[in-house]
Amino acid sequence: MNKHHYVAIMAGGIGSRFWPISRTSLPKQFLDILGIGKTLIQQAYERYNQLVAHENIFIVTVAEYVEIVKKQLPQLPVENIIVEPSRKSTAPCIAYMAFKLLKKDPKAIMIAAPADNLILETDLFIQTAQKALNFVKNEDALVTIGIKPTYPNTGYGYIQHETKEAAPGVHKVKTFTEKPNTELAKTFIASGDFLWNSGIFIWKVKNIIAALEKHEWELYELFAAEKDKFNTSKEKKAIENIYPQCTNISIDFAVMEKADNVYLLPASFSWSDLGTWNSAWENMEKDYFGNAVVGKNAVVIDANNCMVHVPDNKLVLLQGLKEYIIVDTKDVLLICKKDKEQEIKEYVAEIKRNKGDKYL
């Protein structure tokens, strides 16, 4: 393994569209949503540990999840759990890790990735990621991995790329589009040159810092002013001063949509960001009628294409439902049409307004 290769797994999000299983106290990245015996963050760690040494894998999260990370990843060095003082989207998170790594290793090449990706074809993923690492080693490029769309999903971002290859299996990026409506998504898919944005990025650390300096100056300056304190006893206080001043902005908006050295590798592996219950349904085994069921005592009669997630110790009988999400926990029952799944986040906000944080 190359000692200059590092991975930052971003694991501070709440995952509100997976409510009520995903809660503020235990969000989706720490859950075994598909019932396969490993949580999403455990799967992510094992996947990236095939690419880089375990001491070069970092988990970026918030203070309330540190103990969960320690419990689920006991093999991870404690100092590799990086704590953000607050949630400020991916640009501050990536800036923080980039400045830390640059001071540690000026030759560092970094993969930044979400903890909640579902990638079951690990061998194909490793091949793609290794190709990306090899490409950025020799190019001053910002690289992302694109996923071939299987249907007009309105919850994903889309990336348009040049048809001509810039290198074998690598294309220059033309445009980014964030969460289009259904008709636009259909147009993208029909064109053949749009891919889903996986949110997995690969670059030399010095290049992403240069891009932040050029395209998101205020954010860059906040971290650059304190860079000498990183990897020292003064880092914690420095970060606590920086984060309240950071804009809540994604790396896509901050850099990727503005830079002219952005490239894409089309993925050959199956992928889901497991952002919604429907994405879980798509990746689970189903019965003859298309129902995906988690729960040993769930009985489903005359139902089609439903996502059912209920406790093993409760008998749940469902009859006559079609295209529904049914999720039961000890204190919440969710029954929602699958085509309304993108609105679950809004429903959670409504519950917060009317019921407080008790059920969140």
Q: Which of 101, 114, 112 is nearest to 223 (CA)?
A: 101
The DSSP code for 323 is S
From 266, 288, 303, the end of a domain falls on 266
Query: Which pLDDT score is estimated for 85?
Result: 96
Q: Which of 239, 266, 293 is the last residue of a domain?
A: 266
Between strands 324-328 and 307-309, the pairing is parallel
Element (H, E) at 160: strand 158-167
Locate the DSSP E strands across 109-256.
109-114, 142-147, 158-167, 170-177, 194-204
AA identity, residue 172: K
Do 246 and 125 have their domain in common?
yes
Judged against a pLDDT cut of 80, whether residue 300 lies above it is answered with yes
pLDDT of residue 35: 77
* Residue 272 pLDDT exceeds 90: no
Phi-psi region of 192 (alpha: psi -120 to 50; beta: other; left: phi over 0): left
51 and 100 share one domain: yes
What is the average pLDDT across 42-49?
A: 96
Count Cβ atoms below 10 Å from residue 321 Cβ, excluding itself.
19
Domain that holds residue 202: 5-266
Residue where one domain finishes, among candidates 247, 266, 285: 266
Residue 269 pLDDT class (50, 70, 90 cuts): confident
Average pLDDT over residues 214-241: 97
The position carrying tokens 């049914």 is 326
Q: Are 4 and 107 in contact (CB under 8 A)?
A: yes
Q: Over 80: is that where the pLDDT of 178 sits?
A: yes
The one-letter amino acid code at 348 reads V
The reply to whether 218 and 295 lie within a common domain is no
Q: Nearest 5°: phi and psi at 329? A: -125, -175
Regarding whether 298 and 192 lie in a shared domain, the answer is no
The reply to whether 149 and 289 lie within a common domain is no
What does the pLDDT read at residue 319?
96
Instruction: Tell me whether residue 13 is in a domain.
Output: yes
Residue with tokens 């519950």: 351
The arithmetic mean of pLDDT across residues 252-268, rounded, is 94
pLDDT classification of 270: cutoffs 50, 70, 90: confident
Instruction: Flag whether 360 is in a domain.
Output: no
Q: Are residues 54 and 99 in the same domain?
A: yes
pLDDT digits (tens, 9 = 90+) for 63-75: 999 999 999 999 9
Q: Quick one: pLDDT band at residue 254, thresholds 50, 70, 90?
A: very high
Question: Does residue 171 lie within any of the structural domains?
Answer: yes
Residue 186 sits in the same domain as residue 76:
yes
pTM for this model (two decimals):
0.91
Cα–Cα distance measured from residue 321 to residue 336, given in angstroms and rounded to the nearest whole number: 11
Return the number of other C-beta atoms located less than 10 Å from residue 45's C-beta.
Answer: 23
Could you tell me if 196 and 153 are in contact, meaning their C-beta atoms sit under 8 angstroms apart? yes
d(Cα 251, Cα 148) in Å, to the nearest integer?
Answer: 21
The whole-number pLDDT of residue 230 equals: 97
- As a whole number, mean pLDDT of residues 194-214 equals 96
As a whole number of angstroms, the distance between CA 112 and CA 94 comes to 7
The verdict on 109 and 84 lying in the same domain is yes
Mean pLDDT of the chain: 93
Q: Is the pLDDT of residue 225 over 90?
A: yes
186 occurs within a structural domain = yes
pLDDT of 189 strictly over 80: yes
Three-state SS letters, 9-62:
EECCCCCHHHCCCCECCECHHHCCCCCCCCCHHHHHHHHHCCCCCHHHEEEEEE
Whole-number pLDDT of residue 10: 97
Question: Are 50 and 122 in contact, with CB atoms under 8 Å apart?
Answer: yes
Residue 18: the pLDDT is: 86
Of residues 233 and 274, more confidently modeled: 233
User: Is residue 75 located within the same domain as residue 193?
Assistant: yes
Same domain? 235 vs 291: no
Domain count, the chain: 2
Predicted local confidence at residue 110, as pLDDT:
98
Has residue 146 got a pLDDT over 80? Answer: yes
Q: What does the alpha-carbon distance between residue 99 and residue 106 come to, in Å, rounded to a whole number?
A: 10
The burial class, CB within 10 Å (0-12 / 13-18 / 19+), for 175 is: exposed
- pLDDT at residue 255, as a whole number: 96
Q: Is 324 found in the same domain as 295? A: yes
pLDDT at residue 150 above 90?
Answer: no
pLDDT range class, residue 171, cuts 50, 70, 90:
very high
In Å, what is the CA distance from 100 to each residue of 94, 236, 255?
10, 12, 19
The answer to the question of residue 15 being in a domain is: yes
Please tell me the distance from the alpha carbon of residue 77 to that of residue 66, in angstroms, as a whole number.
12
**pLDDT tier at 227, thresholds 50, 70, 90:** very high
Residue 296 located in a structural domain:
yes
- Reduced DSSP (H G I as helix, E B as strand, rest coil) percent helix, strand, coil of the chain, to 5: 40, 25, 35
Q: Residue 239 has which token pair? A: 């970060």
Does residue 242 form part of some domain?
A: yes
Q: Which of 242, 301, 320, 306 is nearest to 277 (CA)?
A: 306
Mean pLDDT of 130-136: 96
Instruction: Give the domain CATH number at 151.
Output: 3.90.550.10
Q: Which residue has the higher pLDDT, 145 or 342?
A: 145
The answer to whether residues 199 and 289 belong to one domain is no
- Residue 121 located in a structural domain: yes
